[in-house]
Chain A
Amino acid sequence: MYALWNTLGLDEPNMRWVLFGTAFLSAVSAWVGTFTYLQKKSLLGDAIAHGILPGVAGSFLLSGQKNAAYIMIGALVWGFLTVLAIEWITRKSHLKPSTAMAIVLSAFFGLGMMLLTQIQNSGLPDASGLQSFLFGQAASLLPSDILVYSIFALVALIVLLALYRSLTFVSFDKAGAQSMGFSPQTSGTVLSILVVIATAIGIQSIGLILMAALLITPAAIARMWSQRLWTMLMLAGGIAAVSAISGSLISFSGKSMPTGPWIVMVLFFIFGFSVLFSTHRGLVQRAFQKRKNRQIIQRENLLKALYHLREQKGEQAEFTFEEIQKKRMFSENDLQRILGMLKRKKWVLQGKNGWTLSGEGLNEGRRITRLHRLWELYLSQKMRLKEDHIHPIAESMEHIITEDLEAQLLHELDYPELDPHQKRIPYDTPAKS
């Protein structure tokens, strides 16, 4: 363990600073990003991240050195300019915000790249490392840089806490919040400022181009695992910190590998995992649910078929494989499998001459038949559907109707005896009859 600690360079206090600093900065970015996600302004982070490049390059051009404080100032100024430009275009033209963002983003980024090339050709001593602003190079961070960024992050965090309720309310119900005296304009402006800070603090560790991922992806992942804002924020912060640390460690192990892409890859891995396995609309869970539904439908259809056979041929009869198949089209494999399953459940019994329903199976078969016929009656009585239209609908509804709904159906139809095809609607009869 200690050896691993050493090889990763964690015995150096410098490295520990960098790692935990990056984790903190990333978490703050993710928290701010969660609110942009909730206000459906996911693109704003990307626009601002690209828009601040001229500020970063400009601060270097003016000061002649790579200093975190100057970088932050340049980034903040151009971040605000980006926000203002987007708002101005949206207000004064008929363009949608996303169009305005795309236009401003590319124009400002182009300008930034021109400045950056200018710097690289200038032969200034520090100029070589400017690449790291684009893709991040956590290893090049000094503890003093981390300190500067962390102070800004802390300010952002305090503002976020102070306006937590206002931002939440406005994100959920703008008009409602405004009617109580909250100002959507103010909280919108504050959020934009927070996004500028959240983007700028990640310049050196993640890099401008990929910063948007750190704002939005943790929020999107967290939403898949949580249903309440507070847990969503905790998760998003945690995911961002873990990705930042592991992404940095991976990039340290290679020679001058950029940090940003690795952090984004880790995030994307977690995202992919969540799409598949999340408890909230995850693909795997949904597939399982579908499979389960299919099994229930097949099982209920078989029980119903056996019940119908019993209605026709008498209570004592046992039914062969072929008879069942003639009643309802099951493939050989399916029928064998479902019968096996129902036998294990003790809902069907296998006799000398074939299959028959057990007491429990009988109840279940009767229930499905009853629901089917009740629904047919409901369709023809209340919805006035023609008799030849009602059977296929009832075929699927019989599997869905809950006990509640059944009770309501019975009440509304007043415990009917016959369905529209003059078939008896079967009830769980009391013992005497």
Chain B
Amino acid sequence: MTPAIDIHNLTASYERKPVLWEIDCQFPQGKLIGIVGPNGSGKTTLLKNIMGLMKPDSGYIRIFGEKLDKVRHRVSYVPQRETVDWDFPADVMDVVLMGRYNPKKLFGRISREDKDIAIEALSRVNMLEFANRHISQLSGGQQQRVFIARSLAQKADLYLMDEPFVGVDAASEDAILNLLTEMKNNGKTVVIVHHDLQTAYEYFDHIALLNTRLVASGAAEEVFTSDLLQEAYGGRLTVLSRIGELIAKKDFPIREKGQEEN
């Protein structure tokens, strides 16, 4: 089976500072996949590159063997909860319906079917009773569930979620975890950025350990060895981060054009 995500030699920088070096890995279909690493290890940057929200310095990514634009309707992305304006004048239903918006349609309208899909998505995250609540009145966990409902409403095959368990109460965490397992059992692929080592092992089937470079990627039990964890969490490679800072400061290119053959 073609991998859900296939990453080739990806080098990417954030505000000109390289935060991902030569990432090369594949994520299988139909699994719960965790991208795990300490703070500042480039997890979010990797997700943004997969979603085409950033331009990589080098390398490329294939999703279901295709370029993103060809399969965009099969992919859904849930950004970090704090990156959006929760004081926006909208209620829960409005936000979930955004998952049904179509970028190709001008004067787009919401159909009966769209509404039914949104209602179903809300009930799957146990938030249907809050459908008419303003989004600023929700708790952190409830906001996260609304976000996931919006993602469900997209009816995708591949889901990418950035830190869905951060700032979430115990009830929401359980609800989200059950939902993720259910999605996996329905053949969906779910990729989750996660920073908490304690829970990572029990949550995920497949884990990519990241710390600005790929430390390991594979089945959870293969990756969760003390050596590899030590390598991922035991501090940065100092030379690597210093060269990154130099690149940012001096405006050097990360890749030269017309390189010498090796």
Which of chain B's residues has its CB closest to A231's CB?
B89
Closest-CB distance, B5 to chain A (whole angstroms): 14
Question: Is the beta-carbon distance between B101 and A172 smaller than 8 angstroms?
Answer: no
Q: In this complex, which of B69, B78, B85 has the most chain A Cβ atoms within 10 angstroms of its Cβ? A: B85
In the complex, A193 has a CB within 8 A of chain B: no
- Chain B 20-41, CB-CB to A under 8 Å as 1, else 0, gives 0000000000000000000000
In the complex, B107 has a CB within 8 A of chain A: yes
Contact of A173 among B83, B91, B108 (CB under 8 A): B83
B residues in contact with A410, CB < 8 Å: none
Contact of B94 among A162, A176, A182, A228 (CB under 8 A): A228
Which of chain B's residues has its CB closest to A171's CB?
B88
Question: Is the beta-carbon distance between B77 and A38 smaller than 8 angstroms?
Answer: no
Question: Is the beta-carbon distance between B103 and A180 smaller than 8 angstroms?
Answer: yes
- The SS class assigned to the A binding surface is helix
Interface residues of A in 224-262 (CB under 8 A from B): 226-229, 232
In the complex, B98 has a CB within 8 A of chain A: yes
Question: Is the beta-carbon distance between A226 and B89 smaller than 8 angstroms?
Answer: yes
In the complex, B239 has a CB within 8 A of chain A: no
B residues in contact with A165, CB < 8 Å: 98, 101, 108
Interface residues of A toward B: which range? 20 to 34
A residues in contact with B101, CB < 8 Å: 165-166, 169, 180, 182
Contact of A178 among B53, B69, B76, B108 (CB under 8 A): B53
B residues in contact with A228, CB < 8 Å: 89-91, 94, 134
In the complex, B11 has a CB within 8 A of chain A: no
Question: Is the beta-carbon distance between B77 and A227 smaller than 8 angstroms?
Answer: no
Which of chain B's residues has its CB closest to A158's CB?
B107
Question: Is the beta-carbon distance between B85 and A172 smaller than 8 angstroms?
Answer: yes
A residues in contact with B244, CB < 8 Å: none
Interface residues of B in 82-113 (CB under 8 A from A): 83-85, 88-91, 94-95, 98-99, 101, 103-104, 106-108
Question: Is the beta-carbon distance between A175 and B79 smaller than 8 angstroms?
Answer: yes
- Give the complex CA separation of A162 and B83 in angstroms: 26
- Give the complex CA separation of A78 and B38 in angstroms: 49
Closest-CB distance, A121 to chain B (whole angstroms): 49
- Give the complex CA separation of A178 and B106 in angstroms: 16
Question: Is the beta-carbon distance between B84 and A172 smaller than 8 angstroms?
Answer: yes
Q: A172-B85, A173-B83, A173-B84 are in contact. Are A179 and B91 (CB under 8 A)?
A: no
Question: Is the beta-carbon distance between A179 and B107 smaller than 8 angstroms?
Answer: no
- Chain A 32-47, CB-CB to B under 8 Å as 1, else 0, gives 0000001000000000
Question: Is the beta-carbon distance between A229 and B89 smaller than 8 angstroms?
Answer: yes
In the complex, A125 has a CB within 8 A of chain B: no
Closest-CB distance, B35 to chain A (whole angstroms): 16
Which of chain B's residues has its CB closest to A233's CB?
B89
Question: Is the beta-carbon distance between B85 and A180 smaller than 8 angstroms?
Answer: no
In the complex, A161 has a CB within 8 A of chain B: yes
In the complex, B67 has a CB within 8 A of chain A: no
Q: In this complex, which of B51, B52, B103 has the most chain A Cβ atoms within 10 angstroms of its Cβ? A: B103
In the complex, B154 has a CB within 8 A of chain A: yes
Q: A162-B107, A181-B72 are in contact. Are A227 and B98 (CB under 8 A)?
A: no
Which of chain B's residues has its CB closest to A40's CB?
B85
Q: A226-B89, A228-B90 are in contact. Are A173 and B79 (CB under 8 A)?
A: yes
Closest-CB distance, A237 to chain B (whole angstroms): 15
In the complex, A77 has a CB within 8 A of chain B: no
In the complex, B48 has a CB within 8 A of chain A: yes
Which of chain B's residues has its CB closest to A187's CB?
B103
- Chain B 98-142, CB-CB to A under 8 Å as 1, else 0, gives 110101101110000000000000000000000000100000000
- Chain A 149-177, CB-CB to B under 8 Å as 1, else 0, gives 00000000000011111101101110111
In the complex, A223 has a CB within 8 A of chain B: yes
Contact of A172 among B69, B90, B107 (CB under 8 A): B90
- Give the complex CA separation of A179 and B94 in angstroms: 18
- Give the complex CA separation of A223 and B88 in angstroms: 10
- Give the complex CA separation of A229 and B101 in angstroms: 16
Which of chain B's residues has its CB closest to A162's CB?
B106
- Give the complex CA separation of A169 and B106 in angstroms: 14
Contact of B103 among A166, A223, A227 (CB under 8 A): A166
Which of chain A's residues has its CB closest to B99's CB?
A180
Question: Is the beta-carbon distance between B134 and A227 smaller than 8 angstroms?
Answer: yes
B residues in contact with A175, CB < 8 Å: 48, 51, 53, 77, 79, 83
Question: Is the beta-carbon distance between B51 and A179 smaller than 8 angstroms?
Answer: yes
A residues in contact with B83, CB < 8 Å: 173, 175
B residues in contact with A181, CB < 8 Å: 69, 72, 103-104
Question: Is the beta-carbon distance between B107 and A180 smaller than 8 angstroms?
Answer: no
Which of chain B's residues has its CB closest to A222's CB?
B89
B residues in contact with A179, CB < 8 Å: 51-53, 75-77, 79
Q: List 8 A-B contacts (CB under 8 A).
A: A171-B85, A171-B88, A175-B53, A176-B98, A227-B134, A228-B94, A229-B89, A232-B89
Interface residues in chain B, defined as those with a beta carbon under 8 Å from any beta carbon in chain A: 48, 51-53, 69, 72, 75-79, 83-85, 88-91, 94-95, 98-99, 101, 103-104, 106-108, 134, 150, 154
Report, nearest first, the 3 A-B pairs whose CB atoms are least far apart.
Answer: A179-B77, A181-B103, A162-B106
13 additional A-B residue pairs with CB within 8 Å, beyond A169-B101, A172-B85: A163-B106, A169-B98, A171-B88, A173-B85, A175-B53, A176-B98, A178-B52, A181-B69, A228-B90, A228-B94, A228-B134, A229-B89, A229-B90
